[in-house]
Amino acid sequence: MISFEPLRKLLAARGISTYYLRNKCGRYNLDSKTIQRFMRDESISTYTLNALCHILKCDISDIVKFIPDDENGPED
């Protein structure tokens, strides 16, 4: 599973609001549905990951964390 917990922590540490992400990032403005998706650890596009890295001037490893799925869960 991909977790956006590092992103949420980074936003809090820098005092960046979702309003800022929606309205103050120029060409990288994010819509509210996209913001809801990463707040719920749902999938987002690589475009959004790119935009977040530009907005926050960070590396992708600063905003996402890989958590292995339960090894006892169903196989794909």
Q: Does domain 2-66 have CATH number 1.10.260?
A: yes
Per-residue model confidence as pLDDT tens for the chain (76 residues)? 999 999 999 999 999 999 999 999 999 999 999 999 999 999 999 999 999 999 999 999 999 999 998 866 555 5
Of the candidates 50, 19, 47, 46, the residue with the CA atom closest to the CA atom of residue 35: 19
Domain spans, the chain:
2-66
Q: What one-character-per-residue DSSP string does 3-41 give? A: E-HHHHHHHHHHT--HHHHHHSSGGG---HHHHHHHHTT
| Unique residue bearing structure tokens 């590396």 | 59
* Entry pTM: 0.85
